[in-house]
Structures are given as C-alpha cells and as structure tokens.
Amino acid sequence: MYASKIGLEIHIQLLTNSKIFCGCRAAFGDEPNTNVCPVCMGYPGVMPALNGEAMRMAYQVALALNCTPTEHTQFARKNYFYPDLPKNYQISQFGAPIGTDGYLDIEFHGKTRRVRISECHLEEDAGKMVHAGDMSLLDYNRAGTPLLEIVTEPDLEIAEEAEVLLTQLRRMVRYLAVCDGNMEEGSMRCDANVSVAPEGAPLGNKVEIKNLNSSRFVRKALAYEIDRQTDILERGGTVSVETRLWNENRDQSEPMRTKELAHDYRYFPEPDLPIVEADASFIAKLSDAQVELPQARMQRLKQVHGLGDRVVELLCDEKETADFFEAVVAEGADAGAVASWLTSDVRKLLNRFEVSLAASPLSPRRLAELLGLLQSGRIHGKIAKQTLEAVFTLDDDPERIITEKGWEQIVDPKALAELAVAVIADNPEAVAAVRAGNAKPLGFLVGEAMKRSAGRAEPRALQQALKDALSVEPLYVLDFGGAIGGERRPDGMVQPGTRKEVKELLAADPDLPDSIRFDEITLGGFLSEEISPRDWAQLVSAVRYRIEDSSSGVVISHGTDTLAYTAALLSWVFPDPQVPVVLTAAVTPEKAPELMRDAVRAALQLPPAVHVVLEDGTYPAVNLRFERVEADAARFRTWNATGLESEQWPGFALGDASADALTARFETAMRQVHIARIYPGMRSESLVRLMDAGYRAFILELYDTGTANLGHSPFGLRAAFEEARRRGVRIFCTSQQEGVVDFQSYVTGHALWREGAVPMGSLTTETAYARLVAAMVCMEDDDEAFASMEHRGSMKNE
C-alpha cells in the first residue's frame, strides 16, 4: 500500500485597476507593450510603489482562507534571469508573507478534509515571451500585475481532491471579487508537488508538476504522477526529485529540470519597499467588509430554505446567482420554486441567449412576478415557461406579457363551475357513465369544458369543478404486470394475464366511499421480471399523466421481483407527486383482491407521496429489499432505515418529455449503467470488458460497509478502477449486506475511495440503480446526473 501526498501552489491574479508597483493599467488582451511604463519595464532608476488595493485584496483572501494575517508584512527579491522578467528579480515575499497557517475544508465523494494553507504571499507577475520563427518577442503588459500565491501543505491525497480545492478556491475568489478564477486564461494558475511513499513511511521524494492550466489537467496530471511514482516504487526504484511539465497533448508529464539545476533564488528583503503595517483596525475593517463566503452561504441557504445540497451548490456557484435567488425570495416567492426555476429553466435560457443573469432582461422582481402568477393559478407551468422565454425576448414584465398575449387562465371558481354545469347538461351519456362508477368519461368531459373555455381554463381547477359538480373522486389503477394482475394456469403456474376488473373486485367493499370512480389502465401483460426500459418509460409517463390530470390517487399493481426498483424509480422521478401513488404487489393472483383493496384505501388516506402497500403493511418506496422467506410468502424489508433519514437524496424533475422520448432516454440510460456484485472470483477484466462495451457507470455491490479486494491480481479490482478513472467511468458502491457504505471504517474502503469509488451511503443496490437511471433520464448532462449521486450526509458543518 502506498500513500500519496499532494501540495498545491496556486497563483491568483488580483483584479486591481492598476499594476502592483506602478500606475499602468492591469488589463489583458490589449496591444502588446501598451500598458507599460519605466517602472514595470525595469528601467534604470525606477522604484516600486505598492498598490494599496492589491494589499487589501491579498489580506481579504488570506482572511477568507482562515490565515493569521501578518502584522508587519515585507517584500523580498527573488533572483532569477528570464527575459520576461524585466528586473531579472521578482518582487515577492519570503519570511513575512501576507498570511500564514490557514485552512480550507473540502469534500470529495463523501470524505471531508481540512487542507492546511501554509501561507499566502503577494508578488508581481512577469511578462510574456512569444517565439516567432527565429525571433523571441516580449510583451510586458502583464509584467507587474499583482499575483497572490497560495501555498498548501501536502494534505491532499488524490488528484480529484486537488480539483475540488481549485473549484472551491475559484468560487471563493470570485465571491470576494478579487480574481476571475479563469485557469484557461491564466488568471488562476496551479503548480503541484506530489510525493508517494509506502504507507506509514516518511514523506517520499517530491516532484513538482508545472503547466497545469485547467482544473481538468490538474486532475489528470496528478493522477498520472501518483501512478508514475507508485510504479517506480513498486518496481523497487527511486523517484528522482525533479520538476516536470504536463504535456496536455500527450496526456503525460515530461522532465523539465532536476534538482541539480534547481534555482538558487537568493532571497533577500526588498530594500525599495518599507515594511507594511496591517494593524488590528485594518484587519477589523477588512473582516467587517468580508462578503459571506460560498461555504457559509450554502450552509445558510440549506438551513433557512431547506434546499438540497446539489441545488444549493448550483445556486451558490456564482455569487450573482445566489444574490439573485435571495432577491427573488425577498420579493415573496417560494424558495423551492425559485431554486428549481433558477437552476433549470432560467439557466437554459441564459445559455441559449448567451447572456449573464445580471445582463439579462430577467430581474428578481420579474421572476417573482412570474412565480406569483404560477402560484395563484393565473397561468400554468407550460405558459410560465413560455412567459419566461418571452421575458427574455421582449424584455417586458410577465404580468403585461400574459395580458397582451391572452395567456391568462380562467381560475375563477364561479366561472369554472358554470362551465362544468353547462358541460354536464350537454353530455348526459358521459355523465351517466361516470355516475355508474366509471372514471374514463371524466377525461372526455374535462376536454369538452376546456374546448368551451378556448383552452384557457386552469386544468386542475377545471377538473376540480367537474368533480365537485358530479360529486366523484376518480382513482386510477394501473396494471403494471406481475402475478397480482395475472392468473394461475390449470397446471398451477402463473402467467401474465387477462386483467381482472378491479371495479368488480372492489364493488362489494363497504368501506370505500361512493364517490370513488375507477379507471383501469393496463400497461403490462408481462411478469415483473420481464420489465424493460420501454415499460418503465410507459409507466412513468402514465403516472405523470394521471397525477397531472386526475385525481385522488394512483394505484399501481406490480410484481414482487422488481418492485424495489420500480418503487424507488417512481419516488426519484416523483419526489412531490401532489397525490398519493401507491404500489402494491402480491406473489400469487389469489392474494390480489385483498391487497388491491388495501392499496385503494391507502391511496385515499396516505399523504401525497410514493408508497408501497404489501400484505404486512405500508412501506416507503426507497430501500425496499425483497427477501422471500418461504414459498408463497413475500417478505419485504426496508434496509438502513435510520441511515436514510440522515442522508439527503433529493429527487429529480421529470419534465414534460413525451412517452417516446422517455423511452429513448430510459434505453440510453439503462444501456450505460450496469449492476455488478463482487465475489471471490470476480476479475477486473470482466468490468473492463463491460466498459469496452460502452458502460459508463456501475452500481458495484461490495461487502459490508464497503470493502473489496483492490489488489493487483486478476481477482483484484485495481485494474478495473484504474481503467474506470482513466475513462471517466463512475463506480457507485453499495453493499451486499445491510451496511452503510462510507469508506470510513476500513483501510480497504479508504483505498477504494482513493481510486474514485463513490460511496452510496445507506442506499441499496436497487435504489441506487433506480436513482442513477432516474437522474440520467431527468438530466440532460450525464455529469450532472453523476453529481447527483454524491451525498453529503457525512459532511460536517463548518
């Protein structure tokens, strides 16, 4: 076993108006050598004059990184010759930097870590040398722009953590408005030190990696370097101390210089600048002016508004978005609604119109107004989206847009009741059928009423008006296959079957209110074990339709074998269904009548959510485990019930894709996700073959709280994990036992985490699989879907 240690040196370019030691503009992209003067060109006789703004920004970052601010900070000369360095020494700091001994907390795949910041120091940037043919050209525009170098202790373990740290730091400096954090353009730059040594041994030889100009390169280069050093050590070799350059075209690093050629920078105190006093009142003033930092803000938004981790992260990624969110909420809009609109529809429109939130025609007031219209029922979801888009194209208020466009719905109960009465009077046959107990003609009546309102009636209110006028409560029963809807052949075997008339089945039930009307929809005609992506798409589409267009509730008859998967899937795609959705399953057709009665009763009584009704009671839809204990006696149990409560697993928004489109999405998703169970003979090779075949994600069922053989033998999983990491294939880990997978308890578990395994916490394999499929179906971006598989149940609040 080897331990890796990574330390980072991050340079951020401070967004001052002028350079750090002269009055030249600190701007980028101007004509070469236009923002220069004798001072930044290093002319004879000139002297540096420190820019107070750079000083202030530097202290701000140091404070945000929890550093102890240095009271008497001093500059030093770092001597080295390079044509782009005008004075052939860089004014930097050594010994008395801006701040020391700070930290930044990060989290990767459920594991939190405190990364110590050894120091932050201020320095000047160099110019740029460009080689053109047999000439070397120099542009000094950048020379003298202020840089803050942030040096971490070697507290990071894996490449992904470095990437997380950079992302977090980028967000922080953008919040502080001291740097734009753009690695591609070089306003944030990273060098890394990597050393690998056997577990428990002292720190290994240090290799510095340079030229990491995107957070993706940082991840790739560091993973490459850890592998490279581990390989050398495994073969009995010694890692040489050197500086290596990351070659992004070849995906490998190359030696740049060895220790023997290392620079002797001959630091000494800069005599041209006085020691700068940062006294208590200066620090206090800065602390008072400090903006709320992203981590604190995320925590607050979670607590105050009860939002999920991922949503909060999306909202808080840019300060602008978080500010906007809070401004809309301050206008009185519902936080949950604002969050979901901002992170989905608004975001899409911003991308489409290639505009920032601040520059867009959407103001907090306009979004609040739009959500108000939606909430009061004056427009419905589809019109709301249409109106949002119109705000972007017309730059007008939602209220005025819907008035001018005639998009406002009829919500007045009196008007709708009149409409209902008129439709009832004109359609005696349909009305008679409904009164006879059939729910199906209800849809027809709604359609008729809608036609009369010229499509402007608010659908749910209209349905309610009709239901009230008819005194009925429609309940939908979906037959999704399984023995409950099947029948037993004369030879005793169960086959998918001719459906039973639930209405008849329940006709005699005295417990059911008279107002209940049934509508049976058969989707299945298969046994539970025969479910395909298409079937799931059909089911999801049908449930969505019934939730929107009915009703008092939806009952789904299902088989037992795959019930755990389907139940979880529905709960992920319908996190907030507005009506109860009840799944039920029986092992044999004989038990069906009784169970169906229970399910219907549950649909009338339980709160709006996805439930599972079984012979022995009602279960939540997630983490259901099918444990048949004896013939004809299905037993289900909820695994890790207590663990689940402490973890946050928010559901997804399904959207309005058609059934066909959903089928395509389910097929695509399910083609890429594979469930694998580890066992003593499992070979890495088989997982790699599956990756070759196009699988991009695995639900890997480990032992206990997340252990596996991670050895190098064919039966160890190391090769599979390495390959997965290289290809960007995700491995989400669950347990074969009722164990919470957090990788915290065993060395082997930690090793898995190091290799990139994502712990699924309390989730069972079925639930995790259903979640991943649901995420991939609901989200356009697979990376977003993968991100939603991360849970922060274990994250400590800082």
Partner 1 sequence: MQADWNTVLATAETLKEYRAGVEARDKDLGAFLHFSPSISTEAENPGSASAISGLPIAIKDNLAVTDFPLTCGSRLLEHFTSPYDATAVERLKAAGASIVGKTAMDEFGMGSATDTSALSETKNPWDPNRTAGGSSGGSAAAVAAGMVPAALGSDTGGSVRQPASFCGVYGLKPTYGAVSRFGLVAYASSLDTVGVIADTPDRLEAVFSVIAGEDAKDQTSIAAFSPGKPPVAPSDLSSLRVGILQADESDEPGVREAMTCVEDVFRTAGTEVETVTLPFLEYASAVYYTIATAEAGANLARFDGIRYGERPLYAENPDELVRLSRSTGLGDEVKLRILLGTYVLRSGFHDQYYGRAQRLRARIIQDMQDLFSRFDLLVSPVFPTLAFKLGRDGLTPYQRKQADRYTTVANLAGIPALAIPTGVHDGLPAGVQITGPAGGDYALIAAAKALHQALPPAAPATYPRIWS
Nearer to partner 1, 22 or 506 (CB): 22
Q: Is 74 exposed, middle or buried (0-12, 13-18, 19+ CB in 10 A)?
A: middle
Nearer to partner 1, 49 or 304 (CB): 49
Among 29, 31, 45, 238, binds partner 1 (CB under 8 A): 45
CA–CA dist 378, 453 (Å, integer): 14
With CA atoms as reference, report the closest residue to 146 among 172, 175, 173: 173
Binders in 272-291 for partner 1, by CB under 8 A? 272-274
With CA atoms as reference, report the closest residue to 477 among 585, 615, 619, 599: 599
Shortest distance (Å) from residue 372 CB to partner 1: 55
What Å distances lie between residue 114 and 102, 107, 155, 163, 687, CA to CA? 10, 9, 8, 15, 34
Nearer to partner 1, 206 or 635 (CB): 206
The radius of gyration of the chain from alpha carbons, rounded to an integer in Å, stands at 32
With CA atoms as reference, report the closest residue to 370 among 351, 383, 355: 383
Shortest distance (Å) from residue 71 CB to partner 1: 18
User: 518 forms bridges with which residues in the sheet?
Assistant: 438, 475
Shortest distance (Å) from residue 724 CB to partner 1: 44
Nearer to partner 1, 78 or 244 (CB): 78
The owner of tokens 């500010």 is 323
Q: What would the x/- binding string for partner 1 be over residues 729 to 768, using CB under 8 A?
A: ----------------------------------------
Residue type, 783: D
Dihedral sign of CA atoms 749, 753, 757, 761 in order:
positive
Nearer to partner 1, 39 or 670 (CB): 39
Nearer to partner 1, 90 or 152 (CB): 90
Nearer to partner 1, 72 or 405 (CB): 72
Residues whose CB falls within 8 Å of the CB of residue 633, separated by 6 or more in sequence, listed in order: 587
Centroid of chain to Cα 186: 27
With CA atoms as reference, report the closest residue to 138 among 125, 128, 146, 150: 128
Nearer to partner 1, 48 or 533 (CB): 48
Stretch binding partner 1 (CB under 8 A), from 36-44, 109-117, 683-691, 755-763? 36-44
Binders in 62-121 for partner 1, by CB under 8 A? 77, 79, 81, 83, 86-89
Nearer to partner 1, 49 or 436 (CB): 49
What Å distances lie between residue 435 and 467, 774, 784, CA to CA? 11, 38, 48
Shortest distance (Å) from residue 249 CB to partner 1: 24
Residues whose CB falls within 8 Å of the CB of residue 666, separated by 6 or more in sequence, listed in order: 533, 534, 536, 537, 540, 773, 777
CA–CA dist 408, 399 (Å, integer): 9
Stretch binding partner 1 (CB under 8 A), from 37-45, 442-450, 719-727, 785-793? 37-45
Shortest distance (Å) from residue 285 CB to partner 1: 21
Stretch binding partner 1 (CB under 8 A), from 225-233, 243-251, 267-275, 716-724? 267-275
Among 114, 259, 266, 435, binds partner 1 (CB under 8 A): 266
Stretch binding partner 1 (CB under 8 A), from 199-207, 265-273, 424-432, 481-489? 265-273
Shortest distance (Å) from residue 270 CB to partner 1: 8
CA–CA dist 477, 600 (Å, integer): 8
CA–CA dist 574, 628 (Å, integer): 28
Stretch binding partner 1 (CB under 8 A), from 197-205, 262-270, 410-418, 734-742? 262-270
Is residue 369 a contact partner of residue 399, using CB atoms and an 8 Å limit?
yes
Shortest distance (Å) from residue 121 CB to partner 1: 18
Among 1, 34, 43, 713, binds partner 1 (CB under 8 A): 43
Tokens standing for 197? 């040594």
Contacts 24+ apart (CB under 8 A), 247-256: 247/211, 248/211, 248/213, 248/217, 251/220, 251/224, 252/224, 253/209, 253/221, 253/224, 253/225, 253/228, 256/210
Helix, strand, or coil (residue 229)? helix
Shortest distance (Å) from residue 131 CB to partner 1: 10
Q: What interhelical angle do 319-330 and 309-316 show, nearest 10?
A: 110
Shortest distance (Å) from residue 273 CB to partner 1: 6
Shortest distance (Å) from residue 23 CB to partner 1: 10
Helix, strand, or coil (residue 273)? coil
CA–CA dist 329, 342 (Å, integer): 12
Under the criterion CB under 8 A, does residue 142 sit at the interface with partner 1?
no
Tokens standing for 526? 């298969």
Among 112, 185, 234, 268, binds partner 1 (CB under 8 A): 268
Shortest distance (Å) from residue 89 CB to partner 1: 5
Shortest distance (Å) from residue 363 CB to partner 1: 43
| Residues belonging to the chain | 798
Q: What would the x/- binding string for partner 1 be over residues 625 to 664, using CB under 8 A?
A: ----------------------------------------
Is residue 427 a contact partner of residue 445, using CB atoms and an 8 Å limit?
yes
Shortest distance (Å) from residue 42 CB to partner 1: 4
Shortest distance (Å) from residue 241 CB to partner 1: 15
Among 6, 20, 50, 673, binds partner 1 (CB under 8 A): 50
Nearer to partner 1, 49 or 633 (CB): 49
Beta strands (DSSP E) in 199-259 are 207-212, 242-247, 252-258
CA–CA dist 641, 624 (Å, integer): 10
Shortest distance (Å) from residue 145 CB to partner 1: 18
Stretch binding partner 1 (CB under 8 A), from 177-185, 210-218, 261-269, 401-409? 261-269
**How many residues bind partner 1, per CB under 8 A?**
30
484 DSSP assignment: G
How would DSSP label each residue in 161-174?
Answer: HHHHHHHHHHHHHH
Among 29, 133, 271, 694, binds partner 1 (CB under 8 A): 271
Nearer to partner 1, 86 or 496 (CB): 86
Shortest distance (Å) from residue 94 CB to partner 1: 11
Nearer to partner 1, 232 or 273 (CB): 273
Shortest distance (Å) from residue 321 CB to partner 1: 41
Helix, strand, or coil (residue 555)? strand
CA–CA dist 117, 226 (Å, integer): 22
Among 34, 38, 489, 686, binds partner 1 (CB under 8 A): 38
Binders in 120-139 for partner 1, by CB under 8 A? 129, 136, 138
Q: CA 186, 64, 12 angle in degrees (round to 5)?
A: 10
Shortest distance (Å) from residue 274 CB to partner 1: 5
User: 65 forms bridges with which residues in the sheet?
Assistant: none
Nearer to partner 1, 263 or 285 (CB): 263
Among 42, 186, 620, 716, binds partner 1 (CB under 8 A): 42
Nearer to partner 1, 23 or 332 (CB): 23
Nearer to partner 1, 146 or 580 (CB): 146
Nearer to partner 1, 50 or 702 (CB): 50
Under the criterion CB under 8 A, does residue 264 sit at the interface with partner 1?
yes
Helix, strand, or coil (residue 763)? coil
> For binding to partner 1 (CB under 8 A), which residues are involved?
38, 41-50, 77, 79, 81, 83, 86-89, 129, 136, 138, 264, 266-268, 271-274
